[in-house]
Structure formats: C-alpha cells, structure tokens
Amino acid sequence: MPLVLASLIADLSCQLFVKELESLTGITNLRVDPDLQGGGLHLTKAGGYLNVHADFTVHPLKRDWRRRVNLLLYLNHSWSDSYEGHLELWSKDMKNCVHRISPLLNKCVIFNTDGDSFHGVPAPLKCPPSTTRNSVALYYYTEEITKTKLKATNYQARPFNSDDNQVLIWLDKVVVAAYTRIKSKLKLSDQAMGSFLKKIRRKPQ
C-alpha cells in the first residue's frame, strides 16, 4: 500500500476522527476495522460497474461487530459526467434513485449501513481505458453484546432492469451470500479467500 494511502486511512481511523463520526451520526462507541474487510482502495476500470445493493451488516470475522457507518472518499482529479460512475442512492422501496453523486476529488459520502441503505454504481463506466474511478472505503462498527445474524450484501434490480439482468443480479446475490457464509464459517479474510479461489480456478484450455 502506498505510504500516502496508508497515512490517509490512518487519519480516517484515528480516535479524533471517529469521535467526529460519532457526533455526526449519533452512533456511539464506533470501532474501526483494522483488517479493512471489503474496504480500502477501490479502483474501477472502463466498463466496470457495481449493482445497487445494501451492504453486509455484520463483520464477516467478528460476529458481534455490527456494521453501522460507511465512508466513501473519492480520489479522481478530473472526472467528466460523460464517464458515468455516479454513486446512486436509492429509496428503501427501490422505486426511485434519490441522489446521484459524482466521484469528484475530495468529495466524501457518509451514510448509515442499514438493511435498506441501497446504493451502487450501476451504469458501466465510459471513461478512457487509461483512467480508473478511484475511491477509499472505510466501514465502522459497534460491538454488540450478542452475535448478530449474518446478512450478506443484498443486490437489488432497478425497476427498469431487463428480465435477464434481474436474473443475473439475483444470481449475484446467491453467490455472494454463499461466499460470505463460507468466509465467516472458516474465519478467512478476503485475502485468504482470494488465494483459495485462485488455486481452484481452472486455467483456460
């Protein structure tokens, strides 16, 4: 990890900043995930997208850690609206896109991680091949007295998605749920799961 990125993540994880988040959100005793499960630097290439979804609500390796707050910080110096890549925030009933946010440099989006906090970057990027959409994602948790039911990332189809796309999005949801259960059951990190998947992936014939 580049030193400047590590320093940025450290600043967003320090106790002073966490206290500011607690004041902003009204959620006390927030914890930072030192393993950055699902977080860290996110880069998306041309053609990439992220279907609308509600995030997993429990830390995959710490079942008594409930995910409460998402922070997304954008790192794109010059980003044209024609590139797409907007973060879309959808209503709880998935009937309307409430906000579209361009991923401009230093723009920061903070929102609660609830079972119906639907968001995504569903339009494929139209940026040049040499350009990537860059952001830092950090997730903050509270430690609960009892273990919380594990809920995987919940992908949702938009009202105008075709039937084929709706089926594919449903399959995404099923696969991600299975991945999350296996990772939690075996206490494996994203890095360990990635190494395992690379080993079992068949090479093209």
Question: pLDDT per residue over 26-79, tens digit each?
Answer: 999 999 998 898 899 999 999 999 999 999 888 888 888 999 999 999 999 989
Q: What domains appear along the chain, each with residue ranges and CATH number?
A: 32-194 (2.60.120)
Q: Answer with the residue of higher pLDDT: 182 or 23.
A: 23
- Tokens representing 53 are 């979804």
Range of lowest pLDDT (90-94, 102-106, 147-151): 147-151
List beta partners, residue 154.
54
pLDDT at site 189? 62
Phi, psi of 21 (to 5 degrees): -65, -40
pLDDT surpassing 70 at residue 201? no
pLDDT at site 152? 72
With cut-offs at 50, 70 and 90, classify the pLDDT of residue 108. Answer: very high
What percent of the chain is predicted at pLDDT more than 90? 60
Residues recorded for the chain: 205
How crowded is residue 23: how many other Cβ atoms within 10 Å of its Cβ?
10
pLDDT in tens, 132-158: 999 999 999 999 887 666 677 888 888
pLDDT at site 70? 96
Global pTM?
0.81
- Tokens representing 115 are 């079972």
